[in-house]
Amino acid sequence: MVRAMARAAGVERKRGIADRLAGRDGRVERVEVFLGAQRLVLNLAGGHPKAEVCTEVRGVVLSRRPVALDEWVRELASAVAARAQSDARARVALERLVLGE
C-alpha cells in the first residue's frame, strides 16, 4: 500500500504487480481530509464506499459517525467553504496589519 500524505488530505492507494510493471499509481482505497478538528474519511476498499465523519483532537478520535456518501460530500463542501472564508478573513487582517491600512 502506498500512502501519499499532504498537510490537509491523504490518499492511500493499492498497487498490484501489474500496476508496478506498468508504472501506474494503483487504485485509490482511502481518502482522508483533515479540516481543523474534523476528519472526513472515505474508504473505497471492497467496492462499496464507506464514509465517516470524525472529530479528532491532537490525534485522538473523540467521535466517529458513519454517514451516507451524499452527506459526506455535503460535509466536505461545507468544511472547505468555511475554511476558505476563514482564510480569506485572515488574509485581509494580515494585509491590514502589514500594510497599516
pLDDT at 55: 92
Q: Please name the amino acid found at residue 66.
A: P
Is residue 16 within 8 A of residue 26, CB to CB? The reply is yes
- Give me the tens of pLDDT residue by residue for the chain, a chain 101 residues long: 433 433 588 888 888 888 788 888 888 899 999 988 899 999 998 888 999 999 988 888 999 999 999 999 999 999 888 888 888 888 888 888 888 76
For the entire predicted model, the pTM comes to 0.71
Nine-digit cell string for 59: 490525534
pLDDT at 82: 86
pLDDT at 101: 64
The CA distances from residue 70 to 24, 60, 100, in Å, are 29, 26, 45
Q: Is 55 exposed, middle or buried, given 0-12, 13-18 or 19+ CB atoms closer than 10 A?
A: middle
